[in-house]
Structures are given as structure tokens and as C-alpha cells.
Amino acid sequence: MLQLEKFYVFMENNFDYLLVVGSDEKVIHISQFLLRDCCSEAIEVEGKFINEVLTENSLNTFRSAMALARAGTRGIAVFTSTIENSNSIPLKPGHADLEDGEIFLFFGNRLEGIRKDNEWEKEERIKELSCLYAVTDLIEYSRSVDEFFRKLPKCLSTGMMYPDEVVIYTIYQGIEYGQKPSQDNYLSVNLVTGKSVKGEIQVGYLDSGEHELLPEEQRMLDEIGRTLNIALERKELRDRMTLKQDEEADFNRRLKTLEREIDGKTGELEEQKNNLNIVNSYLDRVNQGWEESKVRLETMFKAIPDDVVLLDTKRKIVMTNREDITPGNYCFKALFDRKSPCEDCRLARIQRDKTPLTLTIKHENRFLEVHALPFYNQDNEVDGILEFYRDVTLEKTYEQQIQQAAKLASLGQLVSGIGHEINNPNQFIRGNIKIIKQALNDILPIVDKYYESHRELEIARLKYDFFRQHIMTLVDDMAHGSERIKSIVEGLRTFARKDEGLLVDTVDINTLIEASARLVYNQVHKRADINLDLEENLPTFAGNSQKIEQVLVNLIVNAGEAMLEDIKGIITIRTRLSGKEISIEIEDNGRGMDEKTLKQIFDPFFTTKRARGGTGLGLAIAYNIIEEHGGKISVFSTLGAGTIFTIKIPVNHNGTPIAKGAVENN
């Protein structure tokens, strides 16, 4: 305490004003000069709170300066006396941590040259002090450097003689703020951190020739520059310290992650050890001679054609006959590559119901029939389950095919009946159109002659010349439409006709292609147009028309489904005679196929349209049909560009197909 009293004497010998305040805002010491200007009467001030001693304006600046001093930032406290016509005094703050708490010091000298009768100078000095305080406060409370420089002009302009006409420009680390003043008349101060100039503040007026810049304004700008440089230096230091702390924190996080991984591996080893003990326990229950039981169980597992998995109550695999699965893994991860248990977990259901369970599940493109049997412990609680997985994809697919065949059989009967019902009225239409056309050919010359003298003639509310120009076209269109109805019905009846499977038909490939294109028109035309490029006078050959038509329909429908969603595509069908082979090309400009799909395209049950009901048998059947005719089918595709299916059926000079297997010999 004696040392502090000596320090107070030292400070009062060097400064007119001295105020010492504790962290609780109580006055610890006050100099006589400050006491005299603070209170009009001689009263005891020490021990009182500063809000009982200072004016409200002074109190706010002192509290702000205390916060800045505690943070190590330079600030200014402005003391305003309660005595009338007295000066406003700027005091510098200081901060110190002592054994019994922290103290704040405010010290300074009385201002010389500012008298109560010089009101203008007093007001200007107060403006400068307010500006210094505002900028110091802005440094403390700005959230970023960018925010500070954007708000600086508003604070800095208050200390200038003509604040409404001030132009303030700042450049810091290459980033510019504000408007540049006149190049021949402005005040400036450099922004320096780390002994290097990082920027500059320039202050001037819009019209530099009309207002003079004062030396006091340059001093104020210098003071702001010094305060700002200290703050920027501290910010860079804090940023470097933060970066170092972040690097240390990242290192510690990685170290902890490594430790957790080591702990996890250790735990896995312990779990594997426990799994081995569980396996031994199961084998002991089956037979006291566990070696014999183990061999018997392993032999039994290997002999079972289905996948067999033994699970414990934690869903971990205890034993399995699959060589690609290691005991100890979770069943949902090892069997189904999932990160969490299945929604219809058999273990959970058996633990609840305590009964065996049989159900069919779907995994990827396979259907699996699962039989789950419970294992009980001595307390009659489920201690695990044994699951048998059998692949029933073929059965499911055959079942779907049988259902589809039944539908097609019913469709054949329906088509036959509908075809008969459509053909009857269509026969009347075809016959009547011929009579109408003959009648018009006889009547129109008579009407033409009448029209020569009656130009106002209208028929069906149409002027006669327009009617005469188009009536025969309308009749021809009706006849063409009737013929089209007939051909479509005949195509449907042919497609639905029962097939004996014999290669005894005389096949005209161009006729089959035209019939197939008509048959799938409604299914394809919304996504693609069909262009036919058929070579004339192709030879016929002996084969099965219905099977060839089935292949063509399948390929055209597939081409339509391969088109992009937002672009209408083109399907081109070509026929050519090349030596002893008839070549049929079905080309589309759809999305194409990758190499992996091309390798499997003719495999039974492979499909890319499983979600839309595809069975994966269409192209496999097509491949077999072409082979039956002694031909070959191939495919070429480019991803994103399109696909070409090519069918080649060999014929001899008599127009019959070469026997199967003879292609390679020619």
C-alpha cells in the first residue's frame, strides 16, 4: 500500500489530473486539481462510485475507456466538470492487475490555450476529442477490419471543420474504401503493421479550393493513425496466435482419432475372441465331444446348397457356410451391405414371437426365400437364430412369365373377337366408300356445269370451288383409313394366333417389318418416329413368321424406350441382301449402353428395367429365335449416341434358310 501511495505522489508531480478507480467502479484516489474541478464543494470522494462523482457524459467515456484498457486497447476518457464554463479535459486510461484486484488510472494535464472566452476553439477541440473517442470505440466494437473501414468515414468526419463536405478514402491491403479526395490538397496518414506500410487514410473536401485543412486536423488524423496501427498490429498477432492454436487443436484431434482407432481395433480383436468362445459354446451344446460336433456341423454346412448363417442376439455372424463372409461381422453389413439393421429384421421378430419364420425378400435383382429358426438358452430365451437363404429368382420369374402368358392367351382370344366385330362394320364402310366415289364421279360434272351459271353455289356450307377441290381427297382419305383399320386388325389377329413353333412359313421380311411397325405405332410414336429403308424384291425364306415378328416387335419397342425423355428420337429399320444373307438393321439415336451392359444384354434375366416390370427374357428369346433360323444377332452401341441391332439370316438360292450351324462353314 505504501508503494502505491508513492506512485500516486509521483503521478501527481507529473500530471495535473489523476483518478484511480477499482474494478467495482469505486474511487480509490483522486488528485486535488481534479477534485476541485469535479465538485464545487470540498467533499470526501474516495470510496464513492464514479457515477456519484462524474457527469453522465463523462461517465460513459470513462466506462468505455476502462473496457478498452482492460483489453489492452488505447482509448480516451473525456472529463467534463460540473462547474459552469469549465474546460473538457481528455484523460489517458491505464490498467494494472494487483494481488488484491485490478485498478484503472486516468491521468492528464489541464489544456493550455483553451479559455472559456474562446468558445470556437473549445468547441473544435471537443469535436476532435469526440472524434478520437468515436474512432477508438469503433476499433473496439467492429466485428471485422472490413466493417471498421466502411464505418470509419462517418466517425472521422465529425472531427473535421466541415463534416458534411468531407471526402475520406482508405486503402488497406489492396482493398479500397470510400472516395478519393483532390490529389493536390488532402491530409493523410500511413497504416503500418510489422514495420511495413499496409495502406493509407486520405482526408479532404469535395471542393479542395474552398475549404482549408487545419494543422489540428492533421494532428487528430495522426493520433487516429497511431491508435489504429496498434489495433491492427494486435489483430495480426491474434490471427497468428489463433492459427497456431487451430493447428495445435487439429493435431490434437487427429491424435485422439488415432487413439480411438487403436481402441476400436483392440475392441474388434476382443469381439473376435468372444465370437470364438460363442462358437465353441454352441458346439458344446450339440455334443459333449466338441471336436466331433464341429466337424459334423462344418460338413453339414458345406453340404447344404443354400446359404446358412448362424447369428447371435447382437446380429453378429457366429458361423456360415459362405466362404466370402468372416464370422464376427454384422449380418446386415456382410449379407446386404447395409449400414443399419433391415426394416423387417427376422431376429427382432423371432425374439418377440419366439416362433420360426419363413418369408421372401428382395435384394438387388434377386428374390431370396428365408427360413429363420430360433435357438433357445437354458432360460428358454432366444439366444440366436439360424437362417437359410434360398435363391428363388428363377421361380419368381417363371411365375411372372406364366402369368404373362396367361394374359397373352386371354388377349389373343379378346383380339380375335374384337377383330371380327371391327371388320364387320368396316366392310360396310369400304363398300359404301366405293359407291360414294363412283356417285361423285357421275354427279360432279353435272354440278360443275350448274356452277358456271350459279357462282353463289355452296355445298355443306362451303363455297363450291373449295368443296370441289377437296371432296375427292376426303373420300380417298376415308378409303385409306378403312384399309388401315383392316390391316391393323389383320396384324393383331396374326400376332395373337397360336404358334406351333415350326419353320414352315414363307417369310417376306419387308411385309413383317411393315406389320410390326404398325403394331407398335401407338406404343412408340410419342417417343420416336419410325423410318423404313427397305430394299425391294428381297427373297422370301422358310421360317416362322410369328417368331420373327416377335423379335422385330421386341427390338422396336426397346428402341423406343431407349429414347431421351425431352427429345423425340428416330428409329430407322433397314433391309439389305448381301450375298447369301438378308441383313436387318434396327437403329435408334437414344441413350445407348455402356460396355458392361453390352456384355450381358443377351443373358437370361438380365434387365435394366426391373423397376418397370422387365423380366430380362425378351432379348434372350430373340437370340434363340434367330439361332433357330440359322442366323446371328449382334449389337453395337455408343453411350449417349444410340444403338444398332443387326440380324443376319442366311438364305440359299431357293430362298430358304441355311440349316443351323451351317453359317460358320460358308
Q: Is the pLDDT score of 138 beyond 50?
A: yes
Q: Is the pLDDT score of 115 beyond 50?
A: no
Q: Per residue in 25-59, is it b (16+ CB within 10 Å) or e — as a string?
A: bebbbbbebbbebbbeeeeebeeeebeebbeeebb
CA neighbours within 13 Å on the CB side: how many for 353?
12
Among 17-26, 124-133, 213-222, 386-395, the minimum mean pLDDT is found in 124-133
Instruction: Categorise residue 377: left if φ over 0, alpha if ψ from -120 to 50, beta otherwise.
Output: beta
**Mode of pairing for the β-strands spanning 88-98 and 196-205:** unpaired
Count of positions (residues) in the chain: 666
pLDDT of residue 635: 92
- Over range 609-616, report the average pLDDT: 58
* Gyration radius (Cα) of the chain, Å: 50
pLDDT of residue 128: 66
State what percent of residues in the chain have pLDDT above 90: 8
Higher-pLDDT residue of 449, 477: 449
- Over range 483-506, report the average pLDDT: 67
Q: Is the pLDDT score of 499 beyond 60?
A: no
pLDDT of residue 615: 58
- Over range 491-513, report the average pLDDT: 72
pLDDT band at 266 (very low <50, low <70, confident <90, very high): confident
- Over range 373-391, report the average pLDDT: 82
Q: Count Cβ atoms within 10 A of the Cβ of residue 258 and give its class: 0-12 exposed, 13-18 middle, 19 or more buried.
A: exposed
* Listed ranges 177-186, 513-522, 585-594; the one with the highest mean pLDDT: 585-594
pLDDT of residue 666: 28
Tens digits of per-residue pLDDT, 12-66?
777 778 889 998 989 988 887 787 777 655 568 888 898 888 887 788 888 888 8
pLDDT of residue 53: 83
**Residue 356 Cα to chain centre, angstroms:** 43
Q: Is the pLDDT score of 254 beyond 80?
A: yes
Higher-pLDDT residue of 534, 239: 534
Q: What is the dihedral of CA 281, 282, 283, 285, to 10 degrees?
A: 90
Among 83-97, 157-171, 176-190, 449-463, the minimum mean pLDDT is found in 83-97
State the Cα–Cα distance between residues 303 and 305, nearest whole angstrom: 6
Cell output for 591: 441413350
How many other C-beta atoms are found inside a 10 Å radius of the C-beta of residue 155?
A: 21
- Over range 315-322, report the average pLDDT: 81
State the Cα–Cα distance between residues 621 and 397, nearest whole angstrom: 14
State what percent of residues in the chain have pLDDT above 70: 79
Nearest to 645 by CA among 529, 518, 555: 555
Tens digits of per-residue pLDDT, 402-438?
665 566 556 666 666 777 678 778 887 888 888 898 8
pLDDT of residue 233: 74
Among 36-50, 421-435, 563-577, 593-607, the minimum mean pLDDT is found in 36-50
Higher-pLDDT residue of 70, 37: 70
State the Cα–Cα distance between residues 571 and 316, nearest whole angstrom: 54
Q: Is the pLDDT score of 253 beyond 70?
A: yes
Higher-pLDDT residue of 296, 176: 176
- Over range 255-265, report the average pLDDT: 82
- Over range 380-386, report the average pLDDT: 83
Angle (nearest 5°) at CA 617 between 614 and 623: 140
Higher-pLDDT residue of 623, 2: 623
Higher-pLDDT residue of 636, 488: 636
pLDDT of residue 376: 83
